[in-house]
Amino acid sequence: MHEDAKGEQRPAEPGAAAPGGVDREFLSLEREMTVLLRRARASQAEMAREVHPELESSAYGLLVRLDECGSQRATALAAYIGVGKATMSRQLRALEELGLVAREPDPADGRAWLIALTDDGRRRVGKVRDARRGRYVRQLDHWDRREVAELARLLHELNGVMEKHEN
C-alpha cells in the first residue's frame, strides 16, 4: 500500500520500487518466505519427534524422501538434501541405530550400499505424514481446491528453480 496525492491508501503498482530500489513484490515475498520457513522448521522438528523422540529434525526430510522414492545411495540423498557426505553419514548412522533405516547392497555396484526405510520407519513416517496432511486439509478447508492446486504448483516450480541454482 502507498499513499496517493489525496492521502488515501492504494495498493502499489506491480514492479514499483520500495525504499532501497527493490520491487515491493520481492520484499513481500521475502517477508512471507521468512515466516513460512520459520514455521516449516518448527513443524519439521515436531514431526521428527513424532516419528521418534530422538530423531533430529533435519532427518525427517530423509525419511520422507526414502518413503517417496524407495532405496537410494547415501550420495544421492546428500545431494537431494544439500548436505555433505560426513553430515549424511552421521544422520544415516543415527537413523540406523533408531531402527528407521537399513543398508542393503546395491545390486548395480557391489561396492556401494543403498539406504532403505525399515518397516517400522515406513509405518512411523506414514503415520506422521497422514497427520500432517490432515492438518493441511483442516487449515485450508475454506480455500477453493483450485487455489490449493495452484499453491502446490507454484511451490513445486519454486522448489525446482531453487534446486537448479543449488547444483
Would residue 82 count as lying in a domain?
yes
pLDDT at 2 over 60: no
Percent of the chain with pLDDT over 90: 45
Would residue 142 count as lying in a domain?
yes
Residues 6+ apart with CB under 8 A from 84: 78
Would residue 120 count as lying in a domain?
yes
Q: How many CB atoms lie within 10 A of CB 55?
A: 22
**Which CATH number is 88's domain given?**
1.10.10.10
pLDDT at 125 over 90: yes
pLDDT of residue 93: 94
pLDDT digits (tens, 9 = 90+) for 56-69: 888 888 999 999 99
Domain count within the chain: 1
Q: What is the mean pLDDT of the chain?
A: 86
Please give the residue that has the higher pLDDT: either 6 or 103: 103
pLDDT digits (tens, 9 = 90+) for 112-122: 899 999 999 99
Would residue 10 count as lying in a domain?
no
Would residue 3 count as lying in a domain?
no
Would residue 8 count as lying in a domain?
no
Would residue 1 count as lying in a domain?
no
Upper half-sphere CA count for residue 49 (Cβ side, 13 Å): 5
Under a CB-based contact definition with an 8 Å cutoff, are residues 72 and 115 in contact? Answer: yes
Query: Angle 148-152-156 (CA atoms, 0-180°, nearest 5)?
Result: 170
DSSP string, 2-42: EE-TTS-EEPPPTT-B-TTS-BHHHHHHHHHHHHHHHHHHH
pLDDT digits (tens, 9 = 90+) for 76-90: 999 888 888 899 999
pLDDT of residue 67: 95
- Record the pTM: 0.72
pLDDT of residue 5: 56
Residues 6+ apart with CB under 8 A from 114: 71, 72, 73, 103, 104, 105, 106
Q: Which ranges of 8-166 would DSSP assign to H, the alpha helix?
A: 24-51, 59-69, 74-81, 85-97, 119-139, 145-166
Under a CB-based contact definition with an 8 Å cutoff, are residues 114 and 72 in contact? Answer: yes
Under a CB-based contact definition with an 8 Å cutoff, are residues 110 and 100 in contact? Answer: no
Q: By residue range, what is the domain housing residue 130?
A: 23-166
pLDDT at 162 over 90: no
Would residue 162 count as lying in a domain?
yes
pLDDT digits (tens, 9 = 90+) for 20-39: 667 888 889 889 988 988 88
